[in-house]
Amino acid sequence: MKVLLTGGCGFLGSEIASRLAAAGCDVCLYDAFLCFLESKEGRSRHEFLRRMRLRKLEGRARIERGDVRDGKRFAEVLADFAPECVIHLAAVAGAKECAAMPDEAVSINIDGTRTVLHVCKEAGCVRKFVFASSSYVYGHFAADSVDEELHPLEPVEIYGQTKLAGEILVRAWAEAGAFSRVIIRPSSVYGYGDGNGRITQICVENALRGKPVVLHEGGESRLDFTHVSDAAEGFVLAALRREADGGIFNVTRGRARSVAEFAGAVRTLCPAMRITAGGRPDAARPKRGTLSIARARRLLGYDPKIDIEEGAALYIKEAMADPELQTNQPLRT
C-alpha cells in the first residue's frame, strides 16, 4: 500500500513511517519542518532530533517538503505519489504552543486540515484518511476510564478545540463520500526522538544532563502515558486494517499514571536525578486520566505493552547514544 503522512517527519510520524516501511508499504512524508517552541535551546534541540529521526528513515521513505496550507504544492505531491491512504499528523501539536499562537494553531490545525481533505478528494486516489486527533477533545475527564462513545466532547482550550474541529471536518468529507476515515485519539506519547519539550523529554534529558526537574503541583496530574512504539502501532493498524474504517479509537496505554510516577521511573535508572516541586500549574489544562482502549483492542487487535517503567528504560537507553546527551551521571541500566 502507498501511504502518505503529513507531518511525517515529526516524532510520531517518523515512528509510524518506519513501521509502515517495515511492513512493506511505500511511504511518503510531507512536512514543512516547523518548530513552535519559543526558547533558542528548545528549537536547536528540536532541530537536532529531527535530523536524527530523518537519518533513520534514509532510503526507506520519500520526503517532500511542503506546508499543509499550500494546496497547490500538496496537490502536486499527491498527484505524483498517488497514495491510497493518507495519515494526517501535521499540526501545532502542543497545548502550550497552541495557546501561545492561536492564529497559527487555527490556520494549521483547522484550515490546513480542510486543505488536505479537499486536495485528497480532488486527487481521487485516496481511499482512506487517518486523522491524528487527541485526548484533549474530551476536555476535563468525567469518568475513570474515558470511552469514545459516551464521554462528552467538551475541549476547554484551543488545542483540543482545533482537534475537535479537525475531526468534524474529516467526518464531513468522509460522509460526502470522498473516502473512508479513521480518527485516532492518542495521549501523552513519549520516547526518544520527541523534541517538543514535553514533561517526559524534560525528565529524561534533565536527568542525563544533571539538571533538576521541576514538577508542577508535585507531579500529581495523571496522564495516560503511551510509549511511541505502542502509539505508532495503533496508527499502523488503523491504516492497514479494514475493521478500522469509519471508527474513532483511543490509542493509548489504557492506564493513567502520575507525572511524579514517570519522573520516579526515570530516577530509578538515574539515581542522581533531582526532582523538585514548583512552578505555576497551567490552569487552562484539562484534568485528564485513563482512556478506555477496549474498542481498539476489539476491532484493531491493538495490544499496547509498555508501562512507564519499561518505557523510561527504553527512552534512556536510546538517549545514551545521543551525542548531545553524553552523560557523566551514574546510571542503573
Ligand X SMILES: NC(=O)c1ccc[n+]([C@@H]2O[C@H](COP(=O)([O-])OP(=O)(O)OC[C@H]3O[C@@H](n4cnc5c(N)ncnc54)[C@H](O)[C@@H]3O)[C@@H](O)[C@H]2O)c1
9 binds ligand X (CB under 6 A): yes
Question: Which is closer to ligand X, CB of 113 or CB of 330?
Answer: 113
- Print the binding letters for residues 40-69 with ligand X: x by CB under 6 A, - otherwise: ---------------------------xxx
- Print the binding letters for residues 104-143 with ligand X: x by CB under 6 A, - otherwise: ----x---x-------------------x-x---------
Dig out the grid coordinates for 71 from the structure. Answer: 494546496
11 binds ligand X (CB under 6 A): yes
Taking CB under 6 A as the criterion, which residues in 179-218 touch ligand X? Answer: 186-189, 196
Tell me the Cα Rg of the chain: 19
CA 89-189-86 angle, to 5 degrees, is: 20
Q: Residue 31 Cβ, how far from ligand X at the closest point, in Å?
A: 5
Asked if 129 and 166 touch (Cβ cutoff 8 Å), the reply is no
Q: Residue 92 Cβ, how far from ligand X at the closest point, in Å?
A: 6
Taking CB under 6 A as the criterion, which residues in 259-288 touch ligand X? Answer: none
Question: Which is closer to ligand X, CB of 234 or CB of 264?
Answer: 234
252 binds ligand X (CB under 6 A): no
250 binds ligand X (CB under 6 A): no
168 Cβ contact partners less than 8 Å away, ≥ 6 residues apart:
none
Q: Which stretch binds ligand X (CB under 6 A): 30-38, 75-83, 276-284, 323-331?
A: 30-38
33 binds ligand X (CB under 6 A): yes
Q: Residue 126 Cβ, how far from ligand X at the closest point, in Å?
A: 17
12 binds ligand X (CB under 6 A): yes
Give the C-alpha distances (Å, rounded to integers) separating 313 from 181, 221, 253: 35, 21, 16
Q: Which of 21, 32, 63, 82 binds ligand X (CB under 6 A)?
A: 32
**What is the rounded (10 degree) CA torsion for 322, 324, 330, 333?**
-10
Q: Which of 5, 7, 236, 285 binds ligand X (CB under 6 A)?
A: 7
125 Cβ contact partners less than 8 Å away, ≥ 6 residues apart:
78, 82, 83, 84
Q: How many residues bind ligand X (CB under 6 A)?
A: 27
73 binds ligand X (CB under 6 A): no
Question: Which is closer to ligand X, CB of 216 or CB of 327?
Answer: 216
5 — phi, psi (to 5°)? Answer: -115, 115
197 — phi, psi (to 5°)? Answer: 70, 25
Question: Which is closer to ligand X, CB of 69 or CB of 297?
Answer: 69
Find the residue with minimal CB distance to ligand X.
Answer: 10
Q: Which of 77, 87, 91, 215 binds ligand X (CB under 6 A)?
A: 91
Span between the terminal Cα atoms of the chain, in Å:
39
Question: Which is closer to ligand X, CB of 9 or CB of 204?
Answer: 9
Q: Residue 69 Cβ, how far from ligand X at the closest point, in Å?
A: 6
90 binds ligand X (CB under 6 A): yes
Interface positions with ligand X (CB under 6 A): 6-7, 9-13, 31-34, 67-69, 89-91, 93, 108, 112, 132, 134, 186-189, 196
